[in-house]
Structure 1
Amino acid sequence: MKRFIAILFVFGMILSLIAGCSSTSNNKKELVIGVDDQFAPMGFRDDKNELVGFDIDYARAAGKKMGYNVVFQPIDWSAKESELASGRINLIWNGYTITDERKQKVLFTKPYLKNSQVIVTLQKSPITKLDDLAGKKIGLQSMSSAADALNANPIKAKVGNVTEYKDNVSALSDLKIGRVDAIAMDEVVARYYMSKEKDTFKLLNESLAPEEYGIGVKKGNEKLLNELQKALDDMNKDGSAAEISKKWFGEDKVLK
C-alpha cells in the first residue's frame, strides 16, 4: 500500500510540473476579439479555413505589443454589441464602423481606416445611379452600417424592398442569381470581391455615405482602450501598421 501511495505521489508531482510548465509558457493575458469571419479582406476564412485578413494581422500585431495572447471569436454580427457588453469578447474588431449610435453603446479607438458605403450591382445591370434604385430590391448585411447609410439616404423612400442577410457573401450570391437588384455594402469589401470576379460586379459612382473604421471596447474599460490606442499609435510610428496595409491593400491606407 505504501508503495502504491508513493507511486501516486510521484505521478501527481509530475502532473503538477507539467501544468506549471504549461502555465509558465502561456502566462500572457488573453484578449478575445469578436469578428465576422466572412468580411474579406478585413477578416475571413482562406482556402485552409484559417482566419486571415488586414484586421486579423493588425490585431495580432497590436496584441503582441500589449503582451496579450489574441483569440479570435467569430460572432453573429447583428449581436456584436451584446457580445461585448456580456464580456464574452473584449473587443469588436473587424471593419467596425464608428457611428453616433454605436458610440452610445461602446468606447471607440481613434479611426484607423477610411471607408464608404456603396451600391454594388451586376455589370450588365441598367442601374447606374442612386435614383435608378427606385422600385428595386436591395440587399444588405443585417445590423450593418450599410443599413444605417441606406436609411439616412433619400433614396430609401423610393426603393422597392430591402432584404437583410447574415453576411455579405450571402447577399452577393443572391445578387448574382437575381433575387436582389443591388447590394449596399462597405467599399473595401466590394472592391475585394470585384478583384476576384472581375467581370461580375460594378460600383455606382455615387456612394451612400463616407465612414471610418474603429475598434470597439466595452463601456467603462478605459484602461484597455488606452492600452490598445497606445499600441496602435506605436505601430504607426514604427511602420508596422503601414506594412500590414501594404500587404492587403498594396498601399499605406492606415490613418495616422
Structure 2
Amino acid sequence: MKKRLLVKVLAVAITAAFLFAGCGGTDNGGANTGDSGSSGTAAADQSWDKIKEKGELVLGLDDSFPPMGYRDDNNEIVGYDIDLAKEVASRLGIKLKLQPINWDTKDQELNTGNIDCIWNGMTITDELKKAVLFSDPYMNNQQVLVVMADSSYSKKEDLAGKTVALQSGSSAKVALEGKTDFKASLKEVIELKDNTLCMMDLQTGNVDAVLMDEIVARYFIQMKGEKYRVLDEGLAAEEYGIGFRKSDVQLMTRINDTLKEMAKDGKITEISTKWFGKDISIIGK
C-alpha cells in the first residue's frame, strides 16, 4: 500500500510540474520566442504594417549626390532615386519623406530608427551587409578616376606621386583600399564631405584626380561639358541597392516587389531614360 501510494504521489507531482512549466512558457517563454527565435522573428516582423499605419516612409540620403539625389537650383531634392521612390510610395499609398543624413553614419541613422531606408546610390558591399538588409540590385556602377579634360593622364599609373580626392565614407574609399599598389603609389588621398567638393578641388588644381561613382562622374561631365574626363580603367565594379534594417524583411520585400512591377510595366524605363537617356536599370531583368 505504501509503495502504491508513493507512486500516486509522484504521478501527481510530475503532472503538476508539467502544468506549471506550460503556464510559465505561455507567460514568458512565448513572448521571448517572438524576439529571439528565427520563426518568431519572422512572425514579429511588422515593418511594412508599421509604415502603412503611419502612412509615411522616411528615406535617408546624401542630398549632394547627383544624379541619384541632390538639391536643384530651387533647393528641392530631386534625382533618379527620388523619382523611383516617389513612384513606389504612390503605388503603396503612402507619403515619402526625404531625410538628408550624414553618409558616414548612414547605417547608424537606419538602425536607430531615424530613417526607414537608405536609398541614394548605395553600393552593396560585404561590410555593409553585416549591418544592412539590401534589396535586389537595381543598377550597375563602378568606381572611376576623373581628371581634368586637358590633363596628360590617360591611365591610373600616370597618377603615381599625385593627389586623389574621394568622398568620406563612400565606396570609393573601399575600392581604393582594395588596390593597395595603386594607393601606395599616390602622394596623398584627401577625403572630403561630398563629391561636389571633390570636383571643385579638382577644378582648382588642389587635387589631380577624383575617385568616384561612374554614374555620378558621367552626370558631372554631362552638366559641365568637356571640362572633365574619365580614365578608361575602372577600379571596382559595383551594384546599387536599397538598405533596410536587418529585421525589416517585410518592408524590403514590399518595396522590392513594387520595383519589379515598375520594371515590368515600363515605369522604370521611363524614369531611367529621363535621367540617363536610356534604360540602365537591372532590377527585374
Answer yes or no: same fold by TM over 0.5. Answer: yes
2:166 to 136, 140, 154: 140
Distance 2:54 2:102 in 1: 27
- Show the 5 A alignment for 1:213-232: 213-232=240-259
- Please report how far the alpha carbon of residue 54 of structure 1 lies from its aligned counterpart in structure 2 after TM superposition: 0.4
Find the counterpart in structure 2 of residue 172 from structure 1. Answer: 199
8 Å CA contact 1:28–1:69 kept in 2: the answer is no
Find the counterpart in structure 1 of residue 109 from structure 2. Answer: 83
Distance 1:251 1:213 in 2: 17
Task: Work out whether 1:205 is the aligned partner of 2:241.
Answer: no
Find the counterpart in structure 1 of residue 74 from structure 2. Answer: 48
* 1:220 alignment partner, SS class: coil
Report sequence identity in percent: 48
2:140 to 114, 139, 142: 114
Distance 2:148 2:82 in 1: 30
- Please report how far the alpha carbon of residue 230 of structure 1 lies from its aligned counterpart in structure 2 after TM superposition: 1.1
8 Å CA contact 1:28–1:67 kept in 2: the answer is no
- Aligned amino acid, residue 139 of structure 1: A
Distance 1:67 1:226 in 2: 16
Find the counterpart in structure 2 of residue 15 from structure 1. Answer: none
The unaligned stretches of length 5 or more in structure 1 are: 1-25
Task: Work out whether 1:103 is the aligned partner of 2:129.
Answer: yes
- Aligned amino acid, residue 128 of structure 1: S
- Please report how far the alpha carbon of residue 199 of structure 1 lies from its aligned counterpart in structure 2 after TM superposition: 2.5
- Please report how far the alpha carbon of residue 241 of structure 1 lies from its aligned counterpart in structure 2 after TM superposition: 1.0
Find the counterpart in structure 2 of residue 125 from structure 1. Answer: 151
Distance 2:92 2:131 in 1: 24
- Please report how far the alpha carbon of residue 191 of structure 1 lies from its aligned counterpart in structure 2 after TM superposition: 0.6
Name the Cα RMSD after superposition.
Answer: 1.3
Q: Provide the aligned length of Structure 1 versus Structure 2.
A: 231
- Please report how far the alpha carbon of residue 254 of structure 1 lies from its aligned counterpart in structure 2 after TM superposition: 1.1
Q: Which has the higher helix share?
A: 2
Q: Which has the higher strand share?
A: 1
Closer, same or farther in 2 for the Cα pair 1:229/1:27, shift >3 Å? closer
Distance 2:116 2:161 in 1: 42
* 1:245 alignment partner, SS class: helix
8 Å CA contact 1:117–1:149 kept in 2: the answer is yes
1:68 to 80, 94, 102: 94
Closer, same or farther in 2 for the Cα pair 1:79/1:209, shift >3 Å? same
Distance 2:260 2:222 in 1: 31
- Aligned amino acid, residue 104 of structure 2: S
- Please report how far the alpha carbon of residue 27 of structure 1 lies from its aligned counterpart in structure 2 after TM superposition: 7.4
Find the counterpart in structure 2 of residue 254 from structure 1. Answer: 281
Find the counterpart in structure 2 of residue 237 from structure 1. Answer: 264
Find the counterpart in structure 1 of residue 11 from structure 2. Answer: none
Tell me the alpha carbon deviations over residues 37-83 of structure 1, each in whole angstroms, 9 at most, x when there is no partner: 11111111111111111000001111122222110001111111110
The unaligned stretches of length 5 or more in structure 2 are: 1-51
- Please report how far the alpha carbon of residue 125 of structure 1 lies from its aligned counterpart in structure 2 after TM superposition: 1.5
